[in-house]
Amino acid sequence: VKKIAYLGPKGSNSDQAVQFYANKTKLHDFEEFPTLTIEDAILLLENQGVDEAVVPIENSVEGSVNVTLDKLAQSPNLMIAGELLLPIRYVLMAKRDTNPQHVKKIASHPQSIAQCRGYIRDQYPLVEIVYTNSTSEAAQIVYETQEDMLAICSTNAMHLFDLDVVDRNIQDFENNATRFVVLTQKAKKDQDLKDHKCSIVFSSENKPGRLYEVLEIFKNLQVNLTKIESRPSKRKIGEYIFFADMEMNQREDLIAQIHDLLKYKTSFLKFLGAYPVLSNMSDV
Amino acid sequence: VKKIAYLGPKGSNSDQAVQFYANKTKLHDFEEFPTLTIEDAILLLENQGVDEAVVPIENSVEGSVNVTLDKLAQSPNLMIAGELLLPIRYVLMAKRDTNPQHVKKIASHPQSIAQCRGYIRDQYPLVEIVYTNSTSEAAQIVYETQEDMLAICSTNAMHLFDLDVVDRNIQDFENNATRFVVLTQKAKKDQDLKDHKCSIVFSSENKPGRLYEVLEIFKNLQVNLTKIESRPSKRKIGEYIFFADMEMNQREDLIAQIHDLLKYKTSFLKFLGAYPVLSNMSDV
């Protein structure tokens, strides 16, 4: 039985990603391990408590999830085995007798608050924000409190407690979507690389034009980069590592070619995996 | 009297940046407006309630501060007038009679928690995290509570309440530093561009090799990019805008040259300012 860790609790966006992943890959028999933080899910995988961890890596509004990128760069054996792209919708929930005009607090996860920042400012400019570990926890707090408080929940957490819907689709950007990754401890060997993406992370010496020279390699190989992103090296401000995603387009020899060319231009290089992308964006 | 908004409250890292800025620029007479969030400080500037806003833009460990970058990209008149580079050190604070072995909660701002994540995991693996709006607020909560709780504070917030120091320099990376920016509503005209940095934000069509072509322009002009970073366009996942910082090196004609060359390769281009960098890193 495959064991899968994810950022919990039940009803979280990551839980929704796990269900979608199981559904798409016809995985009927698996055990779920919800964790309190993204880091805990990855640590559980590293300590071999689970076979896979499903965690967010990028949101279309808030950008990259730092802890996921940092772990991928730091842990030599951590690999990406799959990508899951899901739409994210938020609802505003309240206890039955809450008067919207008396609301003093809004509770949710910091990422969810960030994705509904404009809505909160327009509709509830004076409320106090209460940060929670998940949107499910926000719903629970509102359910249990005596105060005039609202919870911002993902649509899959809205039925966990007996709360009323105050408003729907309150995210600031309609096309709000999140990329999740399925992490494993080593790369799967048996995968067909057709229609796959490949991800790498590298650092270059802090030398003018170095990033340009790296991009030139991809250009010469006619590889399309779908993303390039810098993260601090953490050693010194102004020093960066770079994450790049590229389309594989059935070119199974590409990884070896990139490796041969990139090793001369980088001081650190790690392949994060070649993996399929499963998208639920058309179901919106 | 110059009015300066910053991410408060008194004792915050941004407050420290304001004091450093006033000190370095010999600004003796100014009024301070602490705000609850970074966005509030920038909104106060946009609504002409203040002349300048001092907010964090990048930390050496956690990376960019999303709300600051997003505001710079979205608000046509928002400009960078200066950069302030400061070391960030954290201390762990408790009420006098707290027994470290009985601690159940640790309170701090989410960014500070993130910068001390490894320390918390090693020393207090079982505690619950309480997120606050600032490290000063964390100190206040610990001061007022009856529970066994600790606060992670920046060194300049440690004396605001009558608390004991449990541990010092608890940040995971020794060289922890934060870049703050001084924001204004329009560029200062009177600045000498010697030893200045210049920042731009642009978006390119989502076309293979486009970023390479943009970097080629900088290479041909012999401009050293000190940073390039992508952020989601927010319209669609996989679409990005790019922030770039470059060294000016006394080349006052550079901005016009870059503008002329870049306008053909970008669908959106905004100059964020040419500005001096004031660093306190040697004082550590």
Strands (E), A101-247: 105-108, 128-131, 149-154, 164-168, 177-184, 196-203, 225-232, 240-247
Q: How far is A98 from chain B (nearest CA, A)?
A: 25
Helix (H) or strand (E) holding B111, with range, is: helix B110-115
Return the bridge partners of B130, or none: B107
Q: Do B129 and A133 make contact, defined as CB atoms within 8 angstroms?
A: yes
Q: According to the model, what pLDDT value does residue A207 have? A: 73
Q: How much is the pLDDT for B284?
A: 42
Q: CB contact, 8 Å: B58 with chain A? A: yes
Query: Residue B65 carries which side chain, given as an amino acid letter?
Result: V
Q: Are A200 and A225 contacting, i.e. CB atoms less than 8 angstroms apart? A: no
- What are the pLDDT digits (tens) for A6-60? 988 888 889 999 999 999 999 999 999 999 889 899 999 999 899 999 999 998 8
Least confident stretch, A59-63, A196-200, B32-36: A59-63
Q: Give the span between the Cα atoms of A269 and A196, in whole angstroms.
A: 20
What digits encode the pLDDT tens for the residues A204-239? 776 777 888 999 999 898 888 888 888 888 877 778
In the stretch 87-126 of chain A, residues with CB closer than 8 A to chain B read 110, 114, 117, 121
CB-based contact, B22 to chain A, within 8 Å: no
Three-state secondary structure call for residue B215: helix
Q: What is the pTM of this model?
A: 0.83
Which chain B residues are within 8 Å of A62, Cβ to Cβ?
A: 66, 232
Residue A173 identity (one-letter amino acid): F
Coil, helix or strand at residue A13: helix
User: Which phi and psi angles does B79 have, rounded to 5°?
Assistant: -130, 160
* Average per-residue pLDDT for chain A: 88
> Which positions ≥6 away from B19 have C-beta within 8 Å?
none
Model pLDDT for residues B169-218, shown as the tens digit of each residue:
999 988 889 999 999 997 666 555 566 889 999 997 767 778 889 999 99
Residue B164 — very low, low, confident or very high, per pLDDT cuts 50/70/90? very high
Residue B66, min C-alpha distance to chain A (Å) = 7
Is the separation of the CB atoms in A241 and A231 below 8 Å?
Answer: yes
Output the CA torsion A107→A108→A111→A112 (10° steps): -100
